[in-house]
Amino acid sequence: MPRPTARLLIAAVLAATLPGAAACAVGPERATPVGAVAPAPPASASPAVPVVPARVPETLSFTAKTLDGAAFSAATLAGRPVVLWFWAPWCATCASQAWTVAEIAPKYRDTVPIVGVAGLGEQKAMKEFVSEFELAGTPQLDDRSGVLWRRFEVVEQSTFVVVDRDGRVVHQGFLDGEPLTRQVDALARG
């Protein structure tokens, strides 16, 4: 028979691991990789909360905070093409891209949402960048921790990740000006 301290240790280990094992047994979905963003929470019945489609692709199964501290669930974008723009506040290339993003994002807000993913800087500088380039109407995620950058395997700033309506990444890399506008327009029509 185990000693009392051994029993306590076994109970603590079981208490810590059984809920995780039970969560893994819920469905055939792949477990979130180490370091990945937590899966998006289920949608609420409240009309104030956007409705989450029945099937959320792995690429959009994450939550984050915006630069303003609001909760963001990428699952609400499922079923539409989405453009994720990974930028840094000190990046001159990102600054030139910001003008195009600010110009086209409002036009495509409902058909091809563009979501900024700010990293590699301080929050104050990120907020100043958003203000300077008039990006406040476009969701801007605070990814100072780099969790989303790692999740999408982004290794340098000024990278666009274009996700089609089925959740497949169809482009990852540099886009600017006309090429960015054409890509977003094609997705909106497509």
pLDDT at 190: 85
What region, left, alpha or beta, does residue 96 occupy, with left being phi > 0 and alpha being psi -120 to 50 degrees?
A: alpha
pTM: 0.73
* The pLDDT of residue 100 is above 90: yes
- The answer to whether residue 89 scores a pLDDT higher than 50 is yes
Is residue 114 pLDDT above 90, yes or no?
yes
The residue with greater pLDDT, 26 or 37, is 37
**Angstrom distance (rounded) from CA 111 to CA 104:** 12
User: For the domain 36-189, what is the CATH code?
Assistant: 3.40.30.10
For the cut 50, the answer to whether the pLDDT of residue 18 exceeds it is no
Q: Above 80 in pLDDT, residue 49?
A: no
* Beta strands 159-163 and 169-173, pairing class: antiparallel
